[in-house]
Chain A
């Protein structure tokens, strides 16, 4: 189980028949092509990501970087050594480039429904600044991000307002999903 990877080849013959002895006589032969059922579970998907450094994007737009230590079938997550990474998109920074900063946050338990996506981080690229972005002072980034968020909120609000007059109900009313 520890080494069960979704990229592992499916078991031969007894498609997920477990450790049962190959006494398939009397049963219809299994489909060799059929992938084992347990491959198609949340557990199998998260298995490979366990104890790895991940980027977790939350529904409220926050980005957490931490080590996935535990999870369950709802994709509730436990993250260790978590850092929140705050980005300020290009344009608002001093030299026109984007800025980012990390804030240490420790251990996180994330409720699965708030997760947008989990990304496994390539440890070799981990320390490189994202293209077009520079590491900056946390206070600066935080204040800029706050400002940006306020602007976005206003923009979104007016957009939603306009859309609702046209009869549109946004998929993510009021939420900034980035």
Chain B
């Protein structure tokens, strides 16, 4: 059945290629060939028969008086409000479309578009479709329409040939600006009025023309004929820009439909034509990702996607027609210009600006999607098209404007020429290649979309974990892969979340240490002060007038240890402790391998058995634990803790001299037992003075700085090892802390105290003890042991105290030393405090003096550092000023 009674079976599929711009929604109006469509006769209730149509009695009321005198006749006018009416139901229509496409993913075959009726009828049909449920036909080849092209459009094509580019029709009177439906829907009549009545060319003739044209230089074409196009273009742009304008008589789909009827005969505008539609879709609706189409969803996608799929389908379908040879050759050029809305004002510039008033084009007017990027200047700056605006410009601006317009026109013309054969490679082709490649990727790396599987991790580890670290992972803390993110985020200590904040780690650890010292100092301050310690006896007599105070009267005897000559810091390249560097590096690698195995093993940890009854779960868990223990043993062996050979340096300590050895520390601590950690801590403390970052990083009193490599080494040790030990030490009880301090006393305290790492370690130990004391921890026995050890330690370190400051007083890098002094000061007896003051008072006075010459904030910072120590012994720098 067809609306107008034409025989739709005459359609000739062989000629399909002539018109790729057939109406994609034509199927909507021809639903009645569906098997389950309603037959008119079945449903007709006969109401029409009751109408009185005998004498046209109310025709005048309905259509106006047409028989009266001309003067009295009301003008018909052009203020039809079809659109306004339609808009009222636009949403419903939209909904129906969506529904339709959902029910019928295949673009429906068009059969009944009439052969004799020009485009007007096809456009009109867009209104007439009745949403009817149709049978679901999921299987499709994408070529359905190809074989069933509506014949009617052949004729429209023929009409368009009438304005074949070669002929260059004279500038035509342009259709009135009110695009009433009838006008726009019959483009051959209104928009191509040039040499009207042009005869239809034979294929040979057309080819001859095309050949002749292709030989002509490219630049010839933008001559007069675009003028026609501009106007058409203009009308279109107008419609798009003001879709709610009353005269524009259609919801989106109709526009689209009409658009296609406007320039049938070439396929690519479809891509443009879809753009405006997206503007009409409800804003809340999620943007459908194009990628979705690549994967051929196994289930019917959500309606919107389906909708798009449908369009995609149609589009590709139409593009396929381009591939028909004669089609390529016969594309009328001036029709294609329509897809380059931007050229409008450019052409105006070329043709004389005031010839056609051209309202500004909306900035969001869609350009050709393929080519819109291929220019360097943005469209925004050019959108000043109205002549009245132009008149207000200076000559110079006008020139610049014209220049730009010319440029734009030129570019658009190029795009136009290029776009003739757009879409030779169809979306299907592209899909096909993409799928091949994805297939290859999958076979090489596992499914790239399944993140976190072992297979994809093996091949794509860096990308996936990197991604998680950069922020993606932490939204799902329960995810197994997150273990990795945590390993690299927190365990290495070098990054505290966020991308690459190198300094956060050490700062954090140092800050915490400082806070700990401060807390200890605060705690100590609350205790009753020793009255004997007054300024007079210690610092009071010192003259403040001279910054360079004379030598202190007291002669402090020195230990032999502190007389050890300072190593020149430049000799940083130490021999590798007499052991084989290669085997050490191998050992480190085996440590890492084991660590990674353990981390992988952690990820597959079975949930602990819920009840004792679940034998299988228990068994699984036991098996897992056994494996974990085996791995732990493997790690422990690799660490060579108990491997004390005759070598001068303990093998484990040797490992710590390598960067990657240091970096492994946090991860080692994560996978070892408390006992093992204690052993490691003990081992490090016992070998404190043989650590490269202690031995080779001795401070000097001069301005000589450590070389960059060693500074980096020290920093890395601080970040990776010290912070780990710090965290661990803070869990230890007083007995162990005292034991650790006792171990320190067995070593060369002078050497230890002259390195930043050594000082940090001492501060850590001492402040930990103070915190325990403050918290009321530790038995009396433990405290007696501690006091004894402390006394021993104080005696050992006292001689070195004046020499542990790095650089001169100017260098200002001595914060950590003041922290140590504070930590010592808190626990010191009055006598020890006095000795402490004597040992460092030069530095105190120098710093105070220096701070007077410094800018205020810097000065107060320096004084604060000193004060940390002063307060620990119940003094304050203010007393010195």
Q: Do chains A and B touch in the complex (CB under 8 A)?
A: yes
Interface pair A21/B434, CB less than 8 Å apart: no
Interface pair B449/A37, CB less than 8 Å apart: yes
What residues make up the interface of A, taking CB atoms closer than 8 Å to B? 1-4, 8, 11-12, 15-21, 28-34, 36-38, 40-44, 47-48, 50-53, 67, 69-73, 80-81, 120-127
CB distance from A41 to the nearest CB of B (A): 4
Sample of 6 A–B contacts (CB below 8 Å) = A16-B291, A20-B295, A31-B472, A32-B475, A38-B438, A127-B410
Alpha-carbon separation in the docked complex, A11 to B289 (Å): 6
Asked if B407 CB lies within 8 Å of chain A CBs, one says: yes
CB distance from B436 to the nearest CB of A (A): 5
Interface pair A41/B437, CB less than 8 Å apart: yes
Complex partner residue of A4 from B290, B419, B449, B467, CB under 8 angstroms: B290
Interface pair B286/A12, CB less than 8 Å apart: yes
CB distance from B89 to the nearest CB of A (A): 30
Known contacts: A3-B369, A4-B291, A29-B479. The answer to whether A122 contacts B472 by CB under 8 A is: no
Asked if B411 CB lies within 8 Å of chain A CBs, one says: yes
Asked if B37 CB lies within 8 Å of chain A CBs, one says: no
Asked if B585 CB lies within 8 Å of chain A CBs, one says: no
CB distance from A125 to the nearest CB of B (A): 7
User: Can you name the residue of chain A whose Cβ is closest to the Cβ of B369?
Assistant: A3
Interface pair B290/A2, CB less than 8 Å apart: yes
Complex partner residue of A51 from B292, B294, B298, B422, CB under 8 angstroms: B422
Interface pair B295/A33, CB less than 8 Å apart: no
B471: chain A residues within 8 A (beta carbon)? 33
Complex partner residue of B451 from A8, A30, A50, A69, CB under 8 angstroms: A30
Interface pair A69/B375, CB less than 8 Å apart: no
User: Can you name the residue of chain B whose Cβ is closest to the Cβ of A127?
Assistant: B410
CB distance from A158 to the nearest CB of B (A): 43
Q: Which 8 A-B pairs have the closest CB atoms?
A: A33-B472, A19-B297, A18-B295, A37-B448, A19-B301, A41-B437, A4-B290, A43-B434
B427: chain A residues within 8 A (beta carbon)? 1-2
User: Can you name the residue of chain A whose Cβ is closest to the Cβ of B429?
Assistant: A70
Alpha-carbon separation in the docked complex, A52 to B373 (Å): 10
Asked if B371 CB lies within 8 Å of chain A CBs, one says: yes
Known contacts: A21-B302, A38-B294, A53-B414. The answer to whether A124 contacts B433 by CB under 8 A is: no
What residues make up the interface of B, taking CB atoms closer than 8 Å to A? 271, 286, 289-299, 301-302, 305, 309, 312, 315-316, 369-371, 373-377, 407, 410-411, 414-415, 418-419, 421-425, 427, 429-431, 433-434, 436-438, 440-441, 448-449, 451-452, 464, 467-468, 470-473, 475-476, 479-480
Interface pair A50/B295, CB less than 8 Å apart: no
Known contacts: A51-B371, A67-B418, A72-B433. The answer to whether A31 contacts B468 by CB under 8 A is: yes
Interface pair A52/B371, CB less than 8 Å apart: yes
A80: chain B residues within 8 A (beta carbon)? 421
Interface pair A73/B433, CB less than 8 Å apart: yes
CB distance from B671 to the nearest CB of A (A): 24
Known contacts: A2-B312, A12-B286, A41-B434. The answer to whether A125 contacts B376 by CB under 8 A is: yes
Q: Is the interface of B mostly helix, strand, loop or mixed?
A: helix
Other A-B pairs, 12, CB within 8 Å; known A18-B297, A44-B434: A2-B315, A11-B291, A20-B301, A29-B479, A31-B464, A31-B473, A33-B468, A37-B448, A40-B441, A51-B422, A51-B423, A123-B374
B480: chain A residues within 8 A (beta carbon)? 28
Interface pair A32/B376, CB less than 8 Å apart: no
B411: chain A residues within 8 A (beta carbon)? 123-124
Q: Which of A16, A29, A50, A123 has the most CB of B within 10 A?
A: A123
User: Can you name the residue of chain B whose Cβ is closest to the Cβ of A7?
Assistant: B373
CB distance from A76 to the nearest CB of B (A): 10
Interface pair B425/A37, CB less than 8 Å apart: no
A42: chain B residues within 8 A (beta carbon)? 433, 437
Alpha-carbon separation in the docked complex, A120 to B373 (Å): 10
CB distance from A49 to the nearest CB of B (A): 10
Alpha-carbon separation in the docked complex, A141 to B195 (Å): 46
Complex partner residue of B295 from A19, A29, A67, A124, CB under 8 angstroms: A19
Q: Is the interface of A mostly helix, strand, loop or mixed?
A: loop
Alpha-carbon separation in the docked complex, A16 to B302 (Å): 15
Interface pair B290/A69, CB less than 8 Å apart: no
Known contacts: A19-B301, A42-B437, A124-B407. The answer to whether A1 contacts B422 by CB under 8 A is: no
Interface pair A126/B414, CB less than 8 Å apart: yes
User: Can you name the residue of chain B whose Cβ is closest to the Cβ of A4?
Assistant: B290
Complex partner residue of A123 from B289, B414, B451, B468, CB under 8 angstroms: B414
User: Can you name the residue of chain B whose Cβ is closest to the Cβ of A18?
Assistant: B295
B475: chain A residues within 8 A (beta carbon)? 29, 32
A40: chain B residues within 8 A (beta carbon)? 441, 448
Interface pair A1/B293, CB less than 8 Å apart: yes
B312: chain A residues within 8 A (beta carbon)? 1-2
Interface pair B414/A8, CB less than 8 Å apart: no
User: Can you name the residue of chain A whose Cβ is closest to the Cβ of B451?
Assistant: A31
Interface pair B297/A20, CB less than 8 Å apart: yes
User: Can you name the residue of chain B whose Cβ is closest to the Cβ of A48?
Assistant: B373
CB distance from B770 to the nearest CB of A (A): 45
Alpha-carbon separation in the docked complex, A172 to B449 (Å): 38
Interface pair A36/B407, CB less than 8 Å apart: no
A123: chain B residues within 8 A (beta carbon)? 374-375, 411, 414-415
Alpha-carbon separation in the docked complex, A93 to B543 (Å): 84
Interface pair B449/A16, CB less than 8 Å apart: yes
B407: chain A residues within 8 A (beta carbon)? 124
B437: chain A residues within 8 A (beta carbon)? 38, 41-43, 73
Complex partner residue of A122 from B286, B291, B370, B376, CB under 8 angstroms: B376
Alpha-carbon separation in the docked complex, A114 to B572 (Å): 51
Q: Which of B294, B305, B464, B475 has the most CB of A within 10 A?
A: B294
CB distance from B768 to the nearest CB of A (A): 40
Alpha-carbon separation in the docked complex, A37 to B451 (Å): 11
Interface pair B430/A52, CB less than 8 Å apart: no
B414: chain A residues within 8 A (beta carbon)? 53, 123, 126
User: Can you name the residue of chain A whose Cβ is closest to the Cβ of B414?
Assistant: A123
User: Can you name the residue of chain B whose Cβ is closest to the Cβ of A54?
Assistant: B374
Alpha-carbon separation in the docked complex, A50 to B425 (Å): 8
CB distance from A137 to the nearest CB of B (A): 17
A15: chain B residues within 8 A (beta carbon)? 449, 451
Interface pair A19/B370, CB less than 8 Å apart: no
Interface pair A19/B305, CB less than 8 Å apart: yes
Complex partner residue of A20 from B298, B410, B430, CB under 8 angstroms: B298
Interface pair A70/B425, CB less than 8 Å apart: yes
CB distance from B414 to the nearest CB of A (A): 5
Interface pair B472/A18, CB less than 8 Å apart: no
Interface pair B289/A29, CB less than 8 Å apart: no
A120: chain B residues within 8 A (beta carbon)? 374
User: Can you name the residue of chain B whose Cβ is closest to the Cβ of A30?
Assistant: B451
Interface pair A38/B291, CB less than 8 Å apart: yes
User: Can you name the residue of chain B whose Cβ is closest to the Cβ of A121?
Assistant: B374
Alpha-carbon separation in the docked complex, A121 to B452 (Å): 40
Interface pair B370/A52, CB less than 8 Å apart: yes
B440: chain A residues within 8 A (beta carbon)? 73
